[in-house]
Amino acid sequence: MSNLTPTAIGSGHEGNLRDQVKAYFSRVKNGEMGALPAIGALVVLAGLFGSLSPFFFTKLNIANLFVQAAELTTLAAALVFVILLAEIDLSAGVAAGVAMDIFYLCLKSGLNWIVGVFVALIFGALVGLVLGWFVAKIGVPSFVVTLAFFLGFQGIALILLGDGGLFRVEVPEIKAIMNENLPAAAGWGLLALMLVISLSIGLWDRARRSKLGLAVRPLSILLTKTALIGLIGGFIVFFLNQNRSAAFKPIAGVPIVIPIVVGLLFVGTFVLDRTQFGRHLYAVGGNPEAARRAGIKVGLIRISAFVICSMLAVVSGLFHVSRIGVVEAAAGRSIVLSGVAAAVVGGVSLFGGRGRLVHAAIGAMVISMIDNGLGLLGLSAGISFLVTGSVLALAATIDALSRKRSGGSLARS
């Protein structure tokens, strides 16, 4: 207290690599664990299933796992937008189902598939608009209104397709998303593009900080991060580029859906981290009253989140139709719960305000792996539900505990 020059106020960017690593671990210790528990779970599960089933680590199965996870990731990412507001959307799955029924009816009436996709997305946007309006303007709890829509949409699906209705969707472009692969070179090219973009953004941030005379983190951190993404990404691309077919006709390459999902996650993360809308979304999730007093249009943010959620859910519905090749009246009923589980397991807080899209992706991988691994072991669907439920309960407990640890519980008395 005795020195008269004001002590420098830091920004967390100071210090060498050692200090930075230390600071990271102290944040983790203080409850900001992010996706760490989920990453741990992934490693454990992979080890477990790998040792129990010889088929688990085959190229075909790993590729399958990625494709399955892609669909769930998209739905979980959709839900992140509403979970960040401490809301929920139980209707996301069946809304996507109805959107696909509408897509099918568009095709049947002779419309171009692109128009069909467009109509389905518009439908998603409208659903989100109505849900958001109920939540933000009328004040109906999202749990209740989305539960009502969950029931209602099941009815609409039955009416549109008829009881037990099941119809083939024959659009090569849609089918390709989940069933076709990129040429080997394209896989590498997209990975390189991703690395270049993420490195450029990192360097650009550093340049901006340096220009204003602010401290910057050691360059080695940025390079290590990029190298790590490159290494993991490179391994995945290399692995998927191998022939994984047991039959005569080879199957190789990165499934088309993967770069699409990575692109969606990238754009979504950019919006959440770097735009005013994203900032306001986190603020409303953290403390709606504070956000309101800061002049943020809280209702508008809430409605937008529901619109984004429903639209992204429609995209996941499209992936689903691509994979199984049919629309059916029962689509989307159970996947929404897996989506919520994926987000929470990945480290998105149900209390709102904390979580990232990449968490949804990691969580979706965990849930998909449980499903896939237990299936390979020949265990019944009953066991799979049981294990997934336990993992979700564990994740929610970690969420609640880490929130307490980081002092979050002070806010809501």
Which positions touch other proteins (CB under 8 A)?
1, 6-7, 9-13, 30, 32, 205, 208-209, 211-214, 274-276, 279-280, 282-283, 285-287, 289-291, 293-296, 352-354, 406-408, 410-411
Give me the residues paired with residue 181 across strands. 255
Pairing of strands 166-168, 326-328: antiparallel
Q: At what angle do helices 172-179 and 298-324 cross, to 10 degrees?
A: 90
Q: Which is nearer to other proteins, 212 or 246 (CB)?
A: 212
Query: What's the alpha-carbon Rg for the chain, to the nearest Å?
Result: 22
Q: Which is nearer to other proteins, 52 or 411 (CB)?
A: 411
The C-alpha atoms of residue 281 and residue 306 are separated, in whole angstroms, by 11
Q: How far is the CB of 271 from other proteins (least distance, A)?
A: 10
Contact 73, 67 (CB under 8 A): no
The C-alpha atoms of residue 395 and residue 347 are separated, in whole angstroms, by 8
Q: Tell me, what DSSP letter sits at residue 125?
A: H
Q: Which is nearer to other proteins, 10 or 378 (CB)?
A: 10
The C-alpha atoms of residue 340 and residue 161 are separated, in whole angstroms, by 27
Q: How far is the CB of 413 from other proteins (least distance, A)?
A: 10
Q: How far is the CB of 75 from other proteins (least distance, A)?
A: 24
Q: How far is the CB of 208 from other proteins (least distance, A)?
A: 5
The C-alpha atoms of residue 319 and residue 82 are separated, in whole angstroms, by 21
User: At residue 402, what is the residue type?
Assistant: S
Determine if residue 73 is left, alpha or beta; phi over 0 gives left, psi from -120 to 50 gives alpha, anything else beta.
Answer: alpha
Q: How far is the CB of 291 from other proteins (least distance, A)?
A: 7
The C-alpha atoms of residue 37 and residue 49 are separated, in whole angstroms, by 18
The C-alpha atoms of residue 316 and residue 119 are separated, in whole angstroms, by 15
Distance of CA 368 to the CA centre of its chain: 13
Q: Which is nearer to other proteins, 12 or 250 (CB)?
A: 12
Q: Which is nearer to other proteins, 10 or 172 (CB)?
A: 10
Q: Which is nearer to other proteins, 108 or 404 (CB)?
A: 404
Q: Which is nearer to other proteins, 108 or 293 (CB)?
A: 293
Q: How far is the CB of 11 from other proteins (least distance, A)?
A: 5
Q: How far is the CB of 256 from other proteins (least distance, A)?
A: 29
Q: Which is nearer to other proteins, 2 or 109 (CB)?
A: 2
Q: How far is the CB of 403 from other proteins (least distance, A)?
A: 9
